[in-house]
Chains A and B, each alone.
Chain A
Amino acid sequence: EPEVTQTPSHQVTQMGQEVILRCVPISNHLYFYWYRQILGQKVEFLVSFYNNEISEKSEIFDDQFSVERPDGSNFTLKIRSTKLEDSAMYFCASSELIGGGQPQHFGDGTRLSIL
């Protein structure tokens, strides 16, 4: 069964450094998302992306965050200058269509640790 893949599974970065988290969505899916989950807390929406544009973003997704689809398969989340509070599990998801009933399929996540 097709799945969303995320790399790396764990990223350790010094505070202030830039980090790029990578995702390969399911191949026929058109809509992509990033969520984060701080340890022990609920999952929080960051951004949705369609047709090479951000379609929706949350208050968390400030100027230090950006997303890109650099080629036909990858979908990346960049954090420009990381802070300690960026430490979290970051999940990428994709869905075939945008309709509200379309399930979003998640990758296994990237655990980001900021030192």
Chain B
Amino acid sequence: AQKVTQAQTEISVVEKEDVTLDCVYETRDTTYYLFWYKQPPSGELVFLIRRNSFDEQNEISGRYSWNFQKSTSSFNFTITASQVVDSAVYFCALRDSNYQLIWGAGTKLIIKP
């Protein structure tokens, strides 16, 4: 069965610190896709990144970077030099042979000034 685990319920750091959000997934499929979404306090869900199971290259987008490791079934998300505006709940999600997204429980990230 598919499953996404975000073990960190809440993380609090001081602005400008680097922070890594963990995501571990389970699936029996060899073809699957992983996503990160951001949910700011206003409540909307904002798509951040997609990764397919055949592409293990890490990706960097500005202060955001993602580390995909199939060997450990992990897809971790790092924010470098965090800012107060990064405060949000971050969700990791998995999509395999089904159409639906399977979501992790989310990690609440608090960036203190």
Contacts and interface: CB of A to CB of B under 8 A. Distances in A.
B96 A104 contact: no
Contacts of A31: 99
B50 A103 contact: yes
Contact of B44 (A55, A56, A98, A109): A109
Contacts of A33: 99-100
Contact of B99 (A43, A56, A107): A56
Interface residues of A, number: 26
B44 A103 contact: no
Contact of B105 (A42, A45, A100, A104): A42
6 contacts: A33-B100, A43-B93, A43-B101, A43-B103, A103-B50, A108-B43
Interface of A: 31, 33, 35, 41-45, 48, 55-56, 58, 89, 91, 93, 98, 100-101, 103-109, 111
